[in-house]
Every structure is written in structure tokens, then in C-alpha cells.
Amino acid sequence: MHTTGLRELVSTDGPFASVYFDDSHDTADAEKLLDLRWRELRERLTEQGAAEPALTALETAIKEGDRPVGRSGRALVAAADRVLLDRHLDQPPATTEARLSDLPYVLPLVTYGEPGPVHVIALIDRIGAELVAVDPYGQVTVEQITEGTDYPVHAVTHVGQIRRHMEERVEETIKLNLKQVADDIDKLVQRTGAELVIVAGEVKNRSALKEQLSDRVRPIAHEVTSGSRADGIDQDVLHADIERIVAKAKENKRADVLARFEQEMGRDGGLAVQGLQAVTTALREANVTTLLVADPGDAAGTTVLVGPEPNYVAMQRGELGDLDATRRRADEALPLAAIATDADLVHTGQRLDLVEGFGALLRHD
């Protein structure tokens, strides 16, 4: 997870009210269940001493926010009277979390809310395309229409040489139209930094378009058999196919990070460390490119020392010199230190055991 969008958590003073819960809207009583969940969250935060302005801000965001479709989770972090973070999660968290603490709690966000790749969706036909760019959180950022010429794009019934000539004109027109679509896709990829292009439409048009894509875009283009510009298309099937491709891209990205960590750990002088002592040292030196976190429960109750800056984290006071330091939960302090130093955050799931629950890929040795 890139942490640029979380920087406000570093620059804001606590205490922070952090909540993570099931926000699914796949039943007739979804609104009633949402109200009950919020009552439970509010009660738990109140018991911990949360102030009314923060509770009011959370309640407003939850009750007035957009509703997801189907199964989903929700993550919110508030401080004072403002909601600093409000995101839908790919799946409901395994347990409901409601925590009031001096530092924001973001580990469940890393576990359940890994942003997807910026991607471009192209619904094409022989005349043009509908192009949509989607940000890492599923929000549409660009919508545009590419229209070529519509004559001639259908062969007419003639005989002999006239028919062959008309067919050649049709094919050339379609080719020019798809070349225009390919050029617009390339521009949109450059403009948005998209890592993925999803193409829907008739198979012949998809194949022809792929030939027209630039060398930079062709390797990131994926075709789906569902969806087109025609009316009456089952959009649910198309959306399911898009979600499947995006989920696979996220999984591949996570797998690449874990494989790199294992490779670096396996060689002498490799750019990877694990365990609280080594990881806090690397964070303090701003030498972490990616902080890896195992099951949040692995770090429950573990504390580290935090100095005057978020990345001044240590296990012993002597490591911070004469700086003032306060003992904080490791599952809050280390992710915040990563955010403060522009390091990415990755949850390892069940695929990789980490000493004391934390590991790091380093910028340099």
C-alpha cells in the first residue's frame, strides 16, 4: 500500500478514534444493521473516553457516506472533530475494531484495504469506445468518448469486385477507428499513470485494438469477454470480471513484494531485515522502502519507544540519545513511522512468518 494518501495522519495530533467494521449492503435490513453496528462502535469508543466531537464526526460520515454494493468493510479514523480517513474495504474485517489511542491505528486498513492499481476500462466497438479511468480506491476519475467515423463500418450486399472493394473500405475504416481508440488509451494511461488496461467488446475488435496499442500499453492490457457498448449488456458480469482482474493484479503485486523479501533475506548483505530491533533501527534511519506486517495479533501488546518525530522509534532509550520518548504500541507506532518516511505498507497474510510480526525491505545497505 502506497502511504502518500495517509500523510495527514502524521501531521495531526491525537487522540485518534479508529474504527473498522462490516459495512456490507447485501440484505434487505442492511441499513438497520449499519445503525446497530454504529451504536456498538460508539459505545466502545465512549467507554475508552472518546470525545463527543470525534464521535459526531464519525457518525455523520457513516450515516451520510456512500453505500457499497454487496459485501464490504469500512475504515474510518477521526481526530478532534474531523474524519481524517474514510475508506471502503474489499472485504469485511474479521473482527470489529474500535480503538481510541494517541496514534492512529492503520493495520486493519493494510490487511483489508489494499488499494488496487489505477486502471483504464475500454468498452469498444468498430466505431469507437467509452473510456473510464479508475483510481486505486475504485473512484472514476476520467470518463471520455472516442468516436471515429461510422461510414462505412458494415459490409453491404454486392457481388464480385464491388463487394470486395466495400469490404476493404469497411476494414480500413474500422482499423482507423481502433487506431484512434488505441491512441486515446495510450494518452489516458500516461495521464493517469494506469498500471492496467481492461478491454471489453467483440473478440474481433479486441484483437484488432490490441495490435494498435503501443509497446508500453500492450503488456498491461487484459481482455474480458463480457461487456460492450451495446445496450442490454449485463453490467454485473462485466463488473465482476473487472474486479477479478484488479484483485489478481493486487495479489500479484503483493506476491512480488513477499518474494523479493524472501530473496533479500536469503542472501548475505541482503536489503531486508525482520524483528523489532532491526526494523525500528531501519525506520529511525528512514531506510525502509516497504514495511511488512504479519497478522496484527502477532504484535498485540508489544510496545516501542517513540521520540519527538514519528520515525524516531527504538527498543531502548539509549538509541534515542537524550530525546524525550514515550512508550507506544508497536502496531500503531511502526506503521505511522513508515507513513512519515514514505515507505509502503504490505500485509503478509498467512504466507510469510515474520520475527515479532514485522519485517522491512531497505532502501540501501
Per-residue pLDDT of 110-166, as tens digits, reads 988 888 899 999 998 878 888 999 998 888 888 888 876 655 444 444 444 544 544
My answer on whether 138 and 243 are in the same domain is yes
Please give the Cα distance from 312 to 46 (Å, whole number): 31
**Residue among 197, 198, 206 nearest 174 (CA):** 206
My answer on whether 145 and 165 are in the same domain is yes
Cell numbers at 206, concatenated: 479486441
Please give the Cα distance from 261 to 151 (Å, whole number): 55
Tell which of 221, 253, 285 closes a domain: 253
358-362 and 288-293 beta bridge pairing: antiparallel
pLDDT exceeds cutoff 70 at 176: yes
Residue with cell 466495400: 166
**Does the residue 260 lie in any domain?**
no
> Span 213-232, mean pLDDT?
81
Q: How confident is the model at residue 213 (pLDDT cuts 50, 70, 90)?
A: very high
Q: What's the pLDDT score for residue 163?
A: 47
Cell numbers at 264, concatenated: 533479500
**Does the residue 137 lie in any domain?**
yes
Q: What's the pLDDT score for residue 77?
A: 98
**Residue among 159, 206, 161 nearest 182 (CA):** 206
**Does the residue 258 lie in any domain?**
no
My answer on whether 143 and 235 are in the same domain is yes
Q: How many other C-beta atoms are found inside a 10 Å radius of the C-beta of residue 25?
A: 14
Tell which of 63, 81, 112 closes a domain: 112
184 and 146 Cβ atoms separated by less than 8 Å = yes
Please give the Cα distance from 114 to 1 (Å, whole number): 6
CATH number, domain of 96, equals 3.30.960
**Does the residue 259 lie in any domain?**
no
Q: What is the mean pLDDT of the chain?
A: 88
**Does the residue 83 lie in any domain?**
yes
> Span 219-224, mean pLDDT?
93
My answer on whether 102 and 127 are in the same domain is no
Over the stretch 20-46, which tens digit does the pLDDT of each residue have?
999 988 888 889 999 999 999 999 999
Please give the Cα distance from 126 to 174 (Å, whole number): 5
My answer on whether 101 and 123 are in the same domain is no
Over the stretch 230-257, which tens digit does the pLDDT of each residue have?
655 567 788 889 989 998 999 999 999 9
Going from the C-alpha of 148 to that of each of 153, 184, 301, the distances in angstroms are: 10, 12, 62
**Residue 34 C-beta-side C-alpha neighbours within 13 Å:** 24
Q: What's the pLDDT score for residue 5?
A: 87
Q: What's the pLDDT score for residue 326?
A: 94
Q: Which residues are within 8 A (CB) of 240 and not within 5 positions of it... i.e. 6 or more apart?
A: 226
My answer on whether 157 and 212 are in the same domain is yes
My answer on whether 145 and 162 are in the same domain is yes
Tell which of 209, 229, 253 closes a domain: 253
My answer on whether 108 and 123 are in the same domain is no
My answer on whether 107 and 149 are in the same domain is no
My answer on whether 248 and 134 are in the same domain is yes
pLDDT exceeds cutoff 90 at 353: no
**Does the residue 231 lie in any domain?**
yes
Stated pTM of the model: 0.83
Burial of 172 (0-12, 13-18, 19+ CB in 10 A): exposed
pLDDT exceeds cutoff 80 at 221: yes
Domain that holds residue 304: 267-362
**Residue among 204, 192, 197 nearest 182 (CA):** 197
Between these two residues, 156 and 258, which has the higher pLDDT value? 258
The number of folded domains in the chain is: 3
Between these two residues, 353 and 16, which has the higher pLDDT value? 16
Portion of the chain with pLDDT greater than 90, in percent:
62
CATH number, domain of 245, equals 3.30.420.60
CATH number, domain of 280, equals 3.30.1330.30
My answer on whether 108 and 124 are in the same domain is no
Q: What's the pLDDT score for residue 46?
A: 97
70: DSSP letter: B
Please give the Cα distance from 75 to 111 (Å, whole number): 11
**Does the residue 261 lie in any domain?**
no
pLDDT exceeds cutoff 70 at 99: yes
Cα-only R_g, the chain: 25
Q: What's the pLDDT score for residue 305?
A: 96
Q: How many other C-beta atoms are found inside a 10 Å radius of the C-beta of residue 274?
A: 20
**Does the residue 262 lie in any domain?**
no
My answer on whether 127 and 213 are in the same domain is yes
